[in-house]
Amino acid sequence: MRSRYSAYVLDDVAYLSQTWHPDFRPRELTIDPDIRFIGLAVIASDQQDRQATVEFEARLLASGQVQAMHEKSAFVKKEGKWLYTTGEMLMPGFQPWKPGRNETCPCGSGKKFKRCCA
Ligand SMILES: [Zn+2]
């Protein structure tokens, strides 16, 4: 999951495609160039023999605003590799992320948000 997140950050469409179960993969895979991912928080994860779920919140910059998406992703293990199948959005689409006063930036810089990505 983290490696797929990194692929979104690095615009690595090939990696996203390789780790997406072929039965679920969109025919054309593109990353919206107007979106920049700046942070990831894993909220919960569960793994069984060949199935896993990861619930996460990702923060991103889109049209100059920090937004958040909250998803539960499902993976299956096939030939020793974890493949993404589907994601369930736990809130509709992207929502504006409202940092508290003096909150540190979600990009992980350690700086205050208002002095960093704001
Ligand atoms: Zn930042």
Is the pLDDT at 70 greater than 90? The verdict is yes
Q: Please give the distance, rounded to the nearest whole angstrom, from the Cα atom of residue 66 to the centre of ligand 1.
A: 10
CA of 58 to the centre of ligand 1 (A): 14
pLDDT of residue 98: 78
Rounded distance between C-alpha atoms, residue 98 and residue 95, angstroms:
9
Strand 51-62 to strand 95-96: parallel, antiparallel, or no bridges (unpaired)? unpaired
Report the separation in Å between the CA atom of 117 and the middle of ligand 1, taken as the mean of its atom positions. 4
CATH number of 2-115: 3.10.450.50
29 Cα–ligand 1 center, Å: 27
Rounded Cα distance between 114 and 94, Å, is 20
CB 1 within 8 A of CB 58: no
The string of DSSP letters for 74-91 reads: EEEEETTEEEEEEEEESS
**Could you report the per-residue pLDDT of 6-44, keeping only the tens digit for each?**
999 888 999 999 999 999 999 999 888 888 898 888 999
